[in-house]
């Protein structure tokens, strides 16, 4: 159920406050260049029951300014900084008026999402100095790490201010992988948008493709057959399992217990092989399509049971190892209040006692009664490990239930929508393996995409990492970072 309100700029803070205190969370903010000016859309979501409220405000094209909502919601402040860097829309009285995603070398006054931005310009004069906050005091020193790292991970710069081995402050600067995905969506057909959505974050192909497809189907009024919805739910859980298994193994590797990693990666390889049999792609691309789903084979329950046994043995061995357990316990604690205020999603939130899950809040199919969401309150690395280990069990049970009665190979598609049917705008909310993914699309009358705005849960969760790391020791940073395992690519579109 989605309702849209056109409001004046002045009303915005009050309406937003009403929605936020009424149990909504800010899911997405997107700016649009319409023919008659600039429009900013604030999407608030709540559930269950599945509710979405959109606030649309129109801005003066000559002076694009919005009142800030940063004092009401921390994510709002980040969305506003993103909007300023990409569109040049100024949030008035913002408490942190610094750049967020603006790359160091973008020339002053260039805003990539403006219609007149053109191709990327050469590196130019940068937009003012952007110094790091210096922590002063006896024995405080800085450790700069990255953006190029010793291991094969994505680029991010981390600046630790440290006394001895204890982290006083961590500043993460991540925005090195801007690919212009939102711009690349513009003008594409719906079918051509799908490969792009699948590649927003390579490990979340199903999650982002599904959020995109749900939004498109809402915008075009497409009816998806119930069987296709079940296939989609099945693929979503398969994606969750293979990512969780790999990370559980790598967490063990990060504390020097390599044998469990070797076995976790063996299990992951089996799952990727299974994925190839099911969709024709190891990372499950091509399974979710606009209007339906495609399936090449149905997963064997017996094989999944064997994999589940294997995973349980690995997690039991990890938790039974006193040194491994000691390294996980109490490391980098994220409190419930901090997680709530930052707006954390996914297993990071669920390990800190917040039972957020879009499968319950915004279900796109009937999950039955079997969905139990594991929640822990510790907020440390151990809690995140436990939540993910337990989610694997939930997912395996779900897959078994969803796979019953499915036949393969088949492509299940709903009837094609009439041209011009539907409201031309749509929202997709999906519980990907990292957390809730939100995608909002707007379509032109001819059916091409005018605006697609995806938001990966990493965008919400990244600010929680430095909070959790305060008073943690430097050698525990890689372990903590892996326990969050946030996406750099999905964060910086």
Partner 1 sequence: MSAVGYAAVAGQVVVVGAGAPLLTGWMRQVRARLEGRAGAGVLQPWRDARKLLHKEPITPAGTGPAFRAAPALLVATTVVAAALVPLLSTDTPVSSHADLIVVVALIALGTFALALAGLDTGTAFGGMGASREMTVAALVEPTILLSVFALSIPTGTTNIPAIVSGAAHEPGRLASPAGLLATAALAVAVLAETGRIPVDNPSTHLELTMIHEAMVLEYAGPDLALVELGAQMRLTLLLGLLSSLFVPWGIATGGSWAPLPVALVLFGAKVAVLGAVLAAAEVFWAKVRLFRVPELLAGSFLLALLAVAASYFLNGAS
Annotated binding-site members for Mg(2+): 182
Query: Which of residues 22, 37, 121, 144 is near partner 1 by CB under 8 A?
Result: 144
Round to whole Å and give the CA distance between 333 and 254.
Answer: 18
Round to whole Å and give the CA distance between 83 and 255.
Answer: 39
Q: What are phi and psi of 204, to 5 degrees?
A: -120, 45
Residue-wise burial string across 40-64, b where 16 or more C-beta atoms lie within 10 A, e elsewhere: bbbbbbbbeebbbbbbebbbeeeeb
Minimum Å gap between C-beta 142 and partner 1 is: 7
- Do 195 and 176 touch, CB atoms closer than 8 A? no
- Based on the shown chain and the rule CB under 8 A, indicate whether residue 266 belongs to the binding site for partner 1: yes
Minimum Å gap between C-beta 338 and partner 1 is: 23
- Based on the shown chain and the rule CB under 8 A, indicate whether residue 148 belongs to the binding site for partner 1: no
Give the interface segment with partner 1, choosing from 205-213, 236-244, 252-260, 360-368 (CB under 8 A): 252-260
CA atoms within 13 A on the CB side of 398: 27
Where in 57-96 is the site for partner 1 (CB under 8 A)? none
Site string for partner 1, 429-468 (x = CB under 8 A): ----------------------------------------
425-431 sheet: strands from edge to edge: 425-431, 436-443, 449-455
- Based on the shown chain and the rule CB under 8 A, indicate whether residue 258 belongs to the binding site for partner 1: yes
Where in 41-60 is the site for partner 1 (CB under 8 A)? none
CA distances from 187 to 182, 183, 281, 290, 447 (A): 11, 9, 27, 17, 9
Question: How many residues make up the chain in this entry?
Answer: 493
Residues 6 or more apart whose CB falls under 8 angstroms from that of 72 comprise: 13, 16, 17, 20
Query: Which of residues 9, 145, 289, 406 is near partner 1 by CB under 8 A?
Result: 145
- Based on the shown chain and the rule CB under 8 A, indicate whether residue 473 belongs to the binding site for partner 1: yes
- Based on the shown chain and the rule CB under 8 A, indicate whether residue 165 belongs to the binding site for partner 1: yes
- Based on the shown chain and the rule CB under 8 A, indicate whether residue 273 belongs to the binding site for partner 1: no
> Which tokens is 446 given?
């001819």
Residues 6 or more apart whose CB falls under 8 angstroms from that of 33 comprise: 87, 113, 114, 115
- Based on the shown chain and the rule CB under 8 A, indicate whether residue 171 belongs to the binding site for partner 1: no
Closest CA to 492 of 168, 112, 232: 112
Minimum Å gap between C-beta 77 and partner 1 is: 29
Binding-site residue positions: 182
- Do 47 and 360 touch, CB atoms closer than 8 A? yes
Residues 6 or more apart whose CB falls under 8 angstroms from that of 405 comprise: none
- Based on the shown chain and the rule CB under 8 A, indicate whether residue 263 belongs to the binding site for partner 1: yes
Alpha helices in 255-356 (DSSP H): 258-279, 301-320, 322-328, 336-342, 346-350
Minimum Å gap between C-beta 331 and partner 1 is: 8
Minimum Å gap between C-beta 141 and partner 1 is: 7
Minimum Å gap between C-beta 305 and partner 1 is: 21
Give the interface segment with partner 1, choosing from 24-32, 61-69, 144-152, 401-409 (CB under 8 A): 144-152
- Based on the shown chain and the rule CB under 8 A, indicate whether residue 6 belongs to the binding site for partner 1: no
| Residue 396, SS3 per DSSP | helix
Give the interface segment with partner 1, choosing from 30-38, 87-95, 253-261, 430-438 (CB under 8 A): 253-261
- Do 335 and 352 touch, CB atoms closer than 8 A? yes
Report CA Rg, the chain: 22
- Do 32 and 425 touch, CB atoms closer than 8 A? no
Minimum Å gap between C-beta 256 and partner 1 is: 3
Query: Which of residues 327, 359, 434, 451 is near partner 1 by CB under 8 A?
Result: 327
Give the interface segment with partner 1, choosing from 117-125, 136-144, 228-236, 382-390 (CB under 8 A): 136-144
- Based on the shown chain and the rule CB under 8 A, indicate whether residue 324 belongs to the binding site for partner 1: yes
Query: Which of residues 191, 259, 301, 306 is near partner 1 by CB under 8 A?
Result: 259
Count interface residues toward partner 1 (CB under 8 A). Answer: 30
Q: Which is nearer to partner 1, 184 or 473 (CB)?
A: 473
- Based on the shown chain and the rule CB under 8 A, indicate whether residue 421 belongs to the binding site for partner 1: no
Q: Which is nearer to partner 1, 257 or 281 (CB)?
A: 257
The DSSP code for 380 is: S
Minimum Å gap between C-beta 432 and partner 1 is: 26
Q: Could you list the residues that contact partner 1 (CB under 8 A)?
A: 141-145, 149-151, 165, 252, 254-259, 262-263, 266, 321, 323-324, 326-327, 473-478
């Amino acid at each position: 159920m989605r309702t849209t309100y056109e409001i004046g700029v002045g009303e915005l803070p009050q309406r937003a406050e009403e929605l936020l205190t009424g149990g909504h969370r800010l899911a997405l903010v997107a700016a649009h260049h319409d023919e008659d000016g600039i429009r900013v859309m604030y999407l608030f979501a709540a559930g269950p029951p599945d509710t979405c409220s959109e606030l649309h405000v129109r801005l003066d094209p000559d002076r694009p300014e919005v009142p800030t909502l940063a004092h009401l919601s921390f994510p709002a402040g980040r969305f506003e900084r993103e909007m300023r860097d990409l569109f040049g829309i100024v949030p008035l009285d913002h408490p942190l008026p610094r750049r967020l995603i603006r790359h160091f070398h973008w020339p002053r006054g260039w805003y990539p999402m403006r219609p007149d931005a053109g191709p990327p310009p050469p590196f130019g004069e940068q937009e003012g100095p952007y110094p790091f906050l210096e922590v002063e005091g006896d024995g405080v020193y800085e450790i700069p790490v990255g953006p190029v790292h010793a291991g094969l991970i994505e680029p991010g710069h981390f600046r630790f201010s440290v006394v001895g081995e204890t982290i006083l402050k961590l500043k993460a600067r991540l925005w090195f992988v801007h690919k212009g995905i939102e711009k690349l969506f513009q003008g594409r057909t719906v079918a051509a948008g799908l490969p792009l959505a699948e590649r927003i974050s390579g490990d979340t192909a199903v999650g982002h493709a599904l959020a995109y497809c749900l939004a498109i189907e809402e915008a075009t009024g497409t009816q998806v057959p119930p069987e296709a919805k079940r296939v989609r739910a099945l693929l979503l859980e398969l994606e969750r399992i293979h990512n969780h298994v790999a990370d559980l193994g790598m967490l063990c590797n990060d504390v020097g217990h390599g044998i469990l990693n070797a076995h976790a990666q063996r299990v992951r390889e089996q799952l990727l092989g299974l994925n190839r049999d099911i969709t024709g792609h190891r990372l499950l691309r091509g399974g979710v399509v606009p209007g339906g789903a495609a399936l090449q084979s149905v997963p064997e329950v017996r094989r999944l049971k064997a994999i589940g046994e294997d995973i349980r043995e690995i997690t039991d061995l990890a938790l039974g190892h006193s040194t491994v357990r000691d390294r996980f316990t109490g490391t980098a604690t994220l409190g419930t209040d901090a997680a709530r205020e930052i707006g954390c999603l996914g297993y990071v939130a669920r390990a800190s006692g917040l039972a957020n899950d879009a499968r319950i809040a915004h279900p796109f199919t009937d999950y039955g009664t079997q969905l139990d969401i594991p929640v822990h309150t510790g907020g440390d690395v151990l809690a995140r490990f436990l939540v993910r280990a337990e989610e694997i069990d939930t997912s395996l049970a779900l897959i078994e239930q969803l796979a019953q009665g499915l036949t393969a190979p088949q492509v299940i598609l709903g009837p094609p929508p009439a041209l011009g049917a539907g409201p031309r705008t749509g929202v997709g909310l999906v519980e990907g393996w990292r957390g809730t993914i939100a995608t909002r699309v707007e379509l032109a009358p001819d059916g091409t995409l005018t605006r697609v705005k995806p938001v990966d849960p990493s965008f919400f969760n990244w600010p929680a990492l430095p909070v959790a790391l305060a008073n943690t020791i430097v050698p525990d940073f890689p372990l903590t970072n892996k326990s969050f395992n946030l996406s750099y690519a999905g964060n910086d579109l």
